[in-house]
């Protein structure tokens, strides 16, 4: 098993934390609002066949510069800077949820900088009657019900145990600030991009035709945070895109089904990247 | 010192079966307009009565989409008070600046109230509570920036000749030229309520405004908050004046301690259990990390967590008792906090009209004169012993 090593690169907005490892064609992984990346078996599995680059977005982990990013425009320019800094011409881009939204924003604006696109439970759309559930005002325990098919997953259990603290200041016990800080920072960074419009870009649907890269959309069948029509919409409106479902999994697919997801992504990328040659 | 009668204008009609929050998602079908008609007029009478009883001023504030306080527009209430009173200061504590776009609306309405009242307005500016960022869908990440820009716009509109231009990040006004201008020159007294955010304290200290400790915490948290504010003033190179701070507290006076508690307690618990739930929701990015850390130190002592009357008394969450008890506890808190403005809530939760009036009367005749004698204006309020650095 190939492990990822942490390093730092300097971008225009500041120092960015980067996990990197493996070898082969480059794959850029864009994380979700939970800021996953550390010890992610999914990325380790991808690193068997690819060079995996997993930057933390500003405001997440130890990455700086979120105060210079006000909206998705700024976020996409930051991704462009990252591609320059990392020397990537047109890597495969894999994004989960918020990261999927960022990936598709990059692919609509700069299609020739994305070699292949994998959207895992992506947000970014508003679909009437299939609204994305709230992430900014609910308790971790309520969130866990939408994020995991298996409520016994260690992260789901941890989220349920945090419910004593709630997502507000009405707490009855003193909690260590260090426990709250990364979660608060991650959600604050997400709010900058997705508070209003809520986790979507109203202009995105009319731009989806601009995506030219081979595209795979993956949905956890039991994802109740982002209803099924979202993945379907992307798959139907991006030319040539394919939709795959993974059973017994919800929103945080890379955590719940790392092997299955890595298998799907590896197979897709190997097929598409070899066809291009 | 100055003593104000503060009214939240709470909704007293939430059904006993309702267990949800009083904020953001509290179903508005629970609001009964017939009851609304009665209580708005009753609450206005209670504010007007404070002038007759000799209070220095009255206070109203702004909250949206909630049952806790029925003043989405405190300026409407303040403008009625501007006509129905002749002498008292009218403090609007405050307008939630980031919710106004453009915030020239605040400069205009405050100036109207100041003109109509003959220069009696105290202008309050507030960032807005956490729930308001949900209720307005305004990005909490921009709360502080919008507040600072809106403040600059209002002060510019009031103090510099127009037409002028304001080009900021969040507000861009090509023609800033508000009519009317406030009557008080150069500007009305300005109050800023805060819940322990260090940025807010520093902002108030820098501008030499007054800091109002509004939320309902254990007295230890208030002591620390007001000390931090005085320290912020010291860092700006001056000693805080007692009039630069104010403390809000529920007050209930009756013939004896036992009678006061018996009459007041059920209404207090309605307020704690029905109206406070939901008030503490904190949207991501609304508070800086260092302020969040500071606020978390006091969070467990927020009144929503109160369970027993002993806790209420021990923490001084409400000052309740005979005139002697109420005077003694207020004196003790004021000297520990060093606050020159006392903002009393004489109506709380479901407290009925009759009890509210008696409370106001007893306070005005039995307690207020003693507070005035003990804390004459221009003298320090803080007990030097409490000023241990």
Query: What is the per-residue pLDDT across B105-125, written as a single tens digit (0 to 9) for each?
Result: 999 999 999 999 999 999 999
Residue pLDDT, tens place only, A187-196: 999 999 999 9
- Provide the pLDDT for residue B257: 98
Look up residue A243 and give its two tokens: 């939709």
Q: Is the dihedral of CA B7, B13, B16, B17 positive or negative?
A: negative
pTM: 0.93
Chain segment B37-46, per-residue pLDDT in tens: 999 999 999 9
Interface check A164 vs B, CB under 8 A: no
* C-alpha to C-alpha distance for B223 and B210, rounded to whole angstroms: 16
d(CA B30, CA B37): 15
Rg (CA), chain A: 18
**Strands of the sheet with A26-30, listed across from one edge:** A5-11, A14-22, A51-55, A26-30, A92-96, A116-120, A215-220, A242-246
Q: Mean of the pLDDT values across residues B282-296?
A: 84
Tell if the CB–CB gap between B141 and A188 is shorter than 8 Å: yes
Contact residues, chain A, for B283 at CB < 8 Å: 136-137, 191, 195
Which tokens sit at B32? 């009964």
CA angle A119, A123, A126 (to 5 degrees): 130
Which DSSP string do the residues of A211-256 spell out, in sequence order? --S-EEEEEETT--SS-THHHHHHHHHSTT-EEEEETT--S-HHHH
Q: Find the helix packing angle between A72-86 and A98-109, rounded to 10°.
A: 80
Any residues with CB less than 8 A from the CB of A155 and at least 6 apart, and which? Answer: A144, A148, A252, A255
Q: Cβ-count burial of B83 within 10 angstroms (0-12 exposed, 13-18 middle, 19+ buried)?
A: exposed
Q: How far is A67 from chain B (nearest CA, A)?
A: 9
Count of other CB atoms within 10 angstroms of residue B81: 26
* Closest chain B CA to residue A138: B281
pLDDT at A165 over 60: no
Query: Longest Cα pair distance anywhere in chain B, in angstroms?
Result: 62
Res. A241 pLDDT band, cuts 50 70 90 = very high
- Kindly state whether A133 is in contact with chain B, defined as any CB-CB distance less than 8 angstroms: no
pLDDT at B380: 79
Model confidence at A167, pLDDT cuts 50, 70, 90, reads very low
In angstroms, rounded to a whole number, what is the distance separating the alpha carbons of residues A199 and A134? Answer: 10
Please state the φ and ψ torsions of residue A14, each to the nearest 5 degrees: 135, -165
Task: Determine the longest span between alpha carbons in chain A, in angstroms.
Answer: 61
Tell me the angle at which helices A177-194 and B289-299 cross, rounded to the nearest 10 degrees.
Answer: 130
Average pLDDT over residues B348-371: 98
User: Looking at residue B384, what is its pLDDT?
Assistant: 58
Which among A171, A174, A188 has CB closest to B284?
Answer: A188
- Mean predicted lDDT score pLDDT of chain A: 93
Strand partners, A124: A200
Interface residue of A59, A74, A169 to substitute, partner B, most B CBs within 10 Å: A169
Residue A210 CB neighbours (<10 A): 14
- Residue B299 touches chain A, beta carbons under 8 Å: yes
CB spacing of A169 vs B302 below 8 angstroms: yes
Please write the tens of the pLDDT for every residue from B221-246. Answer: 999 999 999 999 999 999 999 999 99
Q: Does B65 touch chain A (CB under 8 A)?
A: no
Nearest CB to A187; choose among B139, B284, B295: B284
Q: Does B285 touch chain A (CB under 8 A)?
A: yes
What are the structure tokens assigned to A255, written together?
Answer: 């955590």
Q: Summarize the confidence of residues B333-362 as an average pLDDT.
A: 97
The 10 Å CB-count burial string (b at 16+, else e) for B293-331 is: bbbbebbbbbbbbbeebeebbebbbbbbbbbebbbebbb
**A192 touching B (Cβ < 8 Å):** yes
* B389 — pLDDT class (breaks 50, 70, 90): very low
SS3 (DSSP) at A274: helix
Residue B292 is predicted with a pLDDT of: 83
Give me the mean pLDDT over the A246-255 stretch: 97
Strand A51-55 relative to strand A14-22, pairing: antiparallel
Select from B21, B23, B68, B141 the residue whose CB has the most chain A CBs within 10 Å, as the one to mutate to test that interface.
B141
Residues of B in contact with A177 (CB under 8 A): 292-293, 296
Phi then psi for B145, rounded to 5 degrees? -65, -45
Q: Is A177 on the interface with B (CB under 8 A)?
A: yes
Q: How many angstroms away from the CA of B303 is the closest CA of chain A?
A: 9
pLDDT digit string, tens, across residues A30-69: 999 999 999 999 999 999 999 999 999 999 999 999 999 9
B129 contact A CB<8A:
no
Residues of chain A contacting B302 with CB distance shorter than 8 Å: 169-170
Contact A36, A7 (CB under 8 A): no
B250 SS3 class? strand
Kindly write down the DSSP assignment for every residue of B139-152, as one continuous string.
Answer: -GGGHHHHHHHHHH
- Return d(Cα B340, Cα B382) in angstroms, integer: 9
Answer yes or no: is pLDDT of A140 > 70: yes
Note whether A210 and A111 are within 8 A (CB): yes
Residue A137, chain B, CB below 8 Å: the answer is yes
Q: Taking Cα atoms as reference points, which of A94, A103, A125 lies closest to residue A205?
A: A125
Which residues in chain B touch residue A181, judged by CB atoms under 8 angstroms apart?
289, 292-293
More confident residue, B194 or B158: B158
User: According to the model, what pLDDT value does residue B282 have?
Assistant: 86
Pairing of strands A14-22, A5-11: antiparallel
Question: Do residues A52 and A88 lie in contact, with contact meaning Cβ atoms separated by under 8 Å?
Answer: no
Name the burial class of residue B123, with classes exposed (0-12), middle (13-18) and buried (19+) by CB atoms within 10 angstroms of its CB.
buried
Cα distances (Å, whole numbers) of residue B241 to B228, B320, B339:
14, 28, 9
What distances in angstroms separate CA A237 from CA A116, A125, A199, A242, B366, one per listed residue?
Answer: 16, 12, 19, 11, 75
How many C-beta atoms surround the C-beta of residue B225 within 10 A? 25
Nearest CA in chain B to A171: B300
Average pLDDT of every residue of chain B: 95
Confidence (pLDDT) at A168: 47
Q: Is residue A169 less than 8 Å (CB to CB) from chain B?
A: yes
Give the nearest partner residue to B295 out of A167, A169, A195, using CB atoms.
A169
Cα–Cα separations (whole angstroms), residue A92 to A86, A147, A238, B223:
13, 25, 16, 57
Strand locations in A65-204 (E): 92-96, 116-120
**pLDDT computed for residue B388 by the predictor:** 34
pLDDT in tens, B131-162: 999 999 999 999 999 999 999 999 999 999 99
CB contact under 8 A, A190 and B284: yes
Q: Comparing A174-178, B294-298, B334-338, B363-367, which segment has the lowest mean pLDDT?
A: A174-178
The chain A residue lying nearest B142, using CA atoms, is A192
Residue B161 per-residue DSSP state: P
What is the torsion angle, in degrees rounded to the nearest 10, for the CA atoms of residue B172, residue B178, residue B184 and residue B187?
10
C-alpha dist (Å) from residue A99 to A94, A106, B337: 8, 10, 48
Distance from CA of A178 to the nearest CA of B (A): 9
Looking at per-residue pLDDT, the higher value among B52 and B296 belongs to: B52
The torsion angles phi and psi of B321, rounded to 5 degrees, stand at 160, -160
Contact present, B386 and B336 (Cβ < 8 Å): yes
- Residue-wise pLDDT for B155-167, tens only, equals 999 999 999 999 9
Residue A68 in contact with partner chain B when CB distance is under 8 A: no
- Residue bearing tokens 């309740």: B320
- Tell me, yes or no, if A209 comes closer than 8 A to chain B by beta carbon: no
d(CA B18, CA B7): 24
A122-131, B111-120, B122-131, B278-287 — which is least confidently predicted? B278-287
Q: Identify all chain B residues contacting A137, using CB atoms and an 8 Å cutoff.
A: 24, 134, 281, 283
pLDDT of residue B296: 79
Return the axis-axis angle of helices B74-84 and B104-117, rounded to nearest 10°.
10
Q: Quickly state the pLDDT bin for B383 (edges 50, 70, 90).
A: confident
């Amino acid at each position: 098993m190939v492990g990822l090593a942490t390093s730092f690169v300097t971008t225009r907005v500041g120092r960015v934390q980067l996990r990197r490892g493996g070898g082969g064609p480059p794959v850029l992984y864009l994380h979700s609002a939970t800021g996953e990346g550390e010890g992610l078996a999914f990325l380790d599995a991808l690193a068997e066949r690819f060079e995996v680059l997993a930057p933390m977005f500003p405001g997440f982990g130890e990455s700086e510069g979120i105060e210079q990013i006000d909206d998705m425009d700024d976020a996409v320019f930051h991704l462009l800077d990252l591609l320059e800094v990392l020397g990537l011409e047109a890597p495969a881009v894999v994004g989960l949820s918020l990261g999927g939204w960022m990936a598709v924003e990059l692919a609509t604006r700069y299609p020739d900088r994305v070699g292949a696109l994998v959207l895992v439970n992506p947000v970014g759309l508003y679909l009437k009657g299939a609204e994305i559930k709230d992430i900014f005002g609910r308790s971790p325990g309520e969130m866990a019900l939408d994020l995991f098919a298996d409520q016994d997953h260690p992260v789901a259990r941890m989220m349920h145990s945090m419910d004593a603290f709630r997502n507000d200041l009405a707490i009855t016990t003193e909690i260590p600030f260090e426990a709250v800080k990364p979660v608060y920072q991650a959600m604050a960074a997400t709010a900058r991009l997705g508070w209003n419009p809520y986790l979507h870009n109203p202009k995105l649907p009319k731009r989806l035709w601009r995506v030219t890269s081979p595209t795979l959309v993956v949905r956890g069948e039991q994802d109740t945070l982002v209803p099924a029509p979202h993945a379907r919409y992307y798959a139907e409106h991006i030319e040539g895109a394919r939709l795959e479902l993974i059973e017994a999994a919800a929103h945080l697919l890379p955590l719940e089904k790392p092997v299955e997801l890595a298998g799907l992504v590896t197979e897709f990328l190997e097929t598409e990247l070899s066809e291009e040659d | 010192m100055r003593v104000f009668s503060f009214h939240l204008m709470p909704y007293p009609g939430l059904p006993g079966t309702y267990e949800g929050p009083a904020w953001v998602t509290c179903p508005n079908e629970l609001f009964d307009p017939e009851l609304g008609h009665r209580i708005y007029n009753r609450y206005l009478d209670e504010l007007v009565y404070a002038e007759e009883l000799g209070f220095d001023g009255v206070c109203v504030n702004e909250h949206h989409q909630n049952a806790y306080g029925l003043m989405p527009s405190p300026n409407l209430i303040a403008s009625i008070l501007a006509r129905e009173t002749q002498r008292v200061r009218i403090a609007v504590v405050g307008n939630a600046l980031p919710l106004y776009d453009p915030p020239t609306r605040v400069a205009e309405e405050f100036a109207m109230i100041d003109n109509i009242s003959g220069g009696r307005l105290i202008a309050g500016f507030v960032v807005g509570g956490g729930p308001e960022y949900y209720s307005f869908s305004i990005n909490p990440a921009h709360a502080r920036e919008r507040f600072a820009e809106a403040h600059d716009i209002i002060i510019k509109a009031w103090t510099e000749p127009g037409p002028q231009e304001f080009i900021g990040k969040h507000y861009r006004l090509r023609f800033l030229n508000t009519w009317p201008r406030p009557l008080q020159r150069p500007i009305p007294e300005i109050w800023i309520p805060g819940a322990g955010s260090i940025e807010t304290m520093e902002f108030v200290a820098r501008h030499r405004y007054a800091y109002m400790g509004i939320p309902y915490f254990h007295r230890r948290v208030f002591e620390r908050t007001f000390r931090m504010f005085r320290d912020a003033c010291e860092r700006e190179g001056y000693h805080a004046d007692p009039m630069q701070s104010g403390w809000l507290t529920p007050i209930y006076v009756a013939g004896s301690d036992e009678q006061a508690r018996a009459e007041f307690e059920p209404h207090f618990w309605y307020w704690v259990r029905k109206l406070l739930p939901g008030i503490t929701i904190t949207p991501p990015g609304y508070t800086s990390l260092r302020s969040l850390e500071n606020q978390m130190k006091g969070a467990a002592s927020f009144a929503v967590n109160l369970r027993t009357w002993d806790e209420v008394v021990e923490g001084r969450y409400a000052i309740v008792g005979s005139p002697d008890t109420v005077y003694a506890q207020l004196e003790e808190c004021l000297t520990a906090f060093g606050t020159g403005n006392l903002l009393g809530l004489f109506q709380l939760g479901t407290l009925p009209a009759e009890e509210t009036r008696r409370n106001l009367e007893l306070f005005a005749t039995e307690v207020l004169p003693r507070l005035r004698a003990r804390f004459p204006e221009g003298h320090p309020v803080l007990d030097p012993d409490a000023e241990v650095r």
